[in-house]
């Protein structure tokens, strides 16, 4: 059994601290609509947080032209890297102070959004970054914060958390507070269609992981179930389309909305062992977060099968459009098989070449500690279970024998 206090704590957070979903814009031109809202709300000196790829490829030209036409003096910070560090955040805070910025406007994936959240917080606080880390440590209102999500997976645009790597230890550090929720978010299909196939696959499977872990969490609610189930339906249907036809704007928008709903669900219900293990793998090998989740998800589903049989079966009946059918145990296996097929369809590899056996003990220890302290998992893993999963990831087989 899981430790009940974790589920109780998440339920308390849901009731007393979790804000409503942010206002959203979607479709072509959504980024400019969001920027227009920011300007009409009084912002004149925004910090634009992004990465060098988006900036150099002209994908922000329309935004910058619009802000200039509106008389804004924008500062651009394009120093975002995968798995951003404390040093990156501190550089962004310095840019805010130098530009006397009055708002933060993030354009990018989870790395950009997470870093921008902490920049918006640290710039108004006298606390050093390490004192802002943790749960409910934000002591001042953030600078007004807006998000344009250019990937469809992290859900960071609707979460109350950010993950930043400690520059010295390289360990993932969590910043969790309802104040990190942006005022509004945009899903601009004009940007989303440029996402490469491997990133489309990895981030989409990341979003699916969020939704499934929320749906099977011991801290789930009727509202998180609704959002998670809808997210699963959207991602399963439209991710293969977006992967095969990158220019399909409807598919891109549907996957983005699925990611948004999945993010909302896991913010309230929590995550599970896929994330607990993948965070450690990314720390050790700098593996993209979405890819690590995608590789681990089929294995953890098999671990949870007995504990989640009815939940998996419910999802399978939903995807078949036969919710009136009675429960049957084989429905759970069919759902797992469906996830296997989806992963294969979008090119997710079965194994991860970088993983090394000498790191198994460290990865296992830290993954179990993260899950134990943070997640209301449906079934508790032991050291041997994590080791079996890591061996499977190393050798390359979805199937893992947990007997």
What strands lie across the sheet with 75-77, from one edge to the other?
23-26, 184-187, 145-149, 103-108, 46-49, 75-77
For CATH 1.20.1090.10, the residue range(s) in the chain are 197-395
Helix (H) or strand (E) holding 164: strand 161-165
Q: 55-99: per-residue pLDDT in tens? A: 999 999 999 999 999 999 999 999 999 889 999 999 999 999 999
Domain 197-395 homologous superfamily, CATH: Dehydroquinate synthase-like - alpha domain (1.20.1090.10)
CB 303 within 8 A of CB 280: no
Query: How far apart are the C-alpha atoms of 182 and 184, rounded to whole Å?
Result: 5
- Which pLDDT does position 16 carry in this prediction? 57
How confident is the model at residue 5, as a pLDDT? Answer: 53
Query: Which residues belong to CATH 3.40.50.1970 in the chain?
Result: 4-192
Q: What is the rounded CA–CA span in Å between residue 126 and residue 132?
A: 10
Domain 4-192 has CATH 3.40.50.300: no
- Report pLDDT for 166: 81
Q: How far apart are CA 325 and CA 328, in angstroms?
A: 9
List Cβ neighbours of 43 (8 Å cut-off, separation of 6 or more): 72, 102, 103, 144
In angstroms and rounded to an integer, the radius of gyration of the C-alpha atoms of the chain is 20
How far is the CA of 15 from the CAs of 9, 18, 178, 221, 256, in angstroms? 10, 7, 12, 11, 26
User: Whole-angstrom Cα distance, residue 256 to residue 195?
Assistant: 12
Low-confidence ranges of the chain (pLDDT < 70): 1-19, 170, 398, 403
* Pairing, β 161-165 against β 172-176: antiparallel
């Amino acid at each position: 059994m899981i430790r009940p206090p974790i589920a109780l704590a998440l339920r308390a957070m849901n009731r007393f601290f979790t804000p409503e979903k942010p206002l959203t814009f979607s479709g072509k031109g959504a980024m400019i609509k969001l920027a227009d809202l920011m300007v009409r709300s009084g912002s004149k000196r925004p910090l634009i947080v992004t990465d060098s790829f988006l900036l150099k490829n002209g994908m922000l030209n329309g935004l910058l032209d619009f802000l200039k036409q509106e008389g804004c003096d924008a500062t651009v910070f394009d120093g975002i890297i995968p798995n951003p560090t404390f040093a990156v955040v501190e550089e962004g805070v310095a840019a805010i102070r130098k530009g006397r910025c009055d708002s933060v406007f993030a354009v990018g994936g989870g790395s950009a959004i997470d870093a921008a959240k902490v920049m918006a917080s640290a710039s108004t606080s006298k606390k050093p970054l390490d004192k802002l880390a943790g749960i409910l440590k934000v002591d001042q209102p953030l600078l007004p914060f807006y998000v344009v999500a250019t990937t469809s997976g992290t859900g960071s645009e609707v979460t109350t958390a950010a993950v930043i790597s400690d520059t010295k230890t390289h360990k993932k550090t969590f910043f969790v507070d309802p104040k990190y929720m942006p005022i509004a978010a945009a899903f601009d299909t004009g940007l989303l269609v440029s996402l490469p196939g491997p990133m489309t696959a990895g981030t989409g499977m990341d979003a699916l992981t969020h939704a499934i872990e929320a749906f099977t969490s011991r801290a789930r609610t009727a509202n998180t179930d609704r959002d998670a189930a809808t997210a699963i339906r959207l991602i399963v249907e439209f991710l293969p389309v977006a992967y095969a036809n990158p220019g399909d704007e409807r598919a891109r928008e549907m996957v983005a909305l699925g990611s948004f709903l999945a993010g909302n669900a896991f913010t309230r219900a929590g995550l599970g062992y896929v994330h607990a293990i993948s965070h450690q793998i990314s720390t050790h090998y700098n593996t993209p977060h979405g890819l690590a989740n995608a590789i681990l998800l089929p294995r953890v589903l098999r671990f949870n099968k007995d504990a989640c049989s009815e939940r998996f079966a419910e999802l399978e009946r939903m995807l078949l459009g036969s919710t009136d059918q009675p429960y049957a145990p084989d429905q759970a296996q069919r759902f797992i098989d469906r996830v296997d097929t989806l992963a294969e369809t979008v090119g997710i590899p079965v194994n991860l070449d970088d993983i090394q056996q000498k790191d198994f003990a460290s990865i296992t220890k830290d993954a179990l500690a993260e899950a134990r302290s943070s997640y209301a998992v449906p079934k508790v893993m032991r050291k041997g279970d994590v080791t079996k999963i890591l061996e499977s990831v190393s050798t390359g087989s979805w199937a893992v024998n947990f007997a």
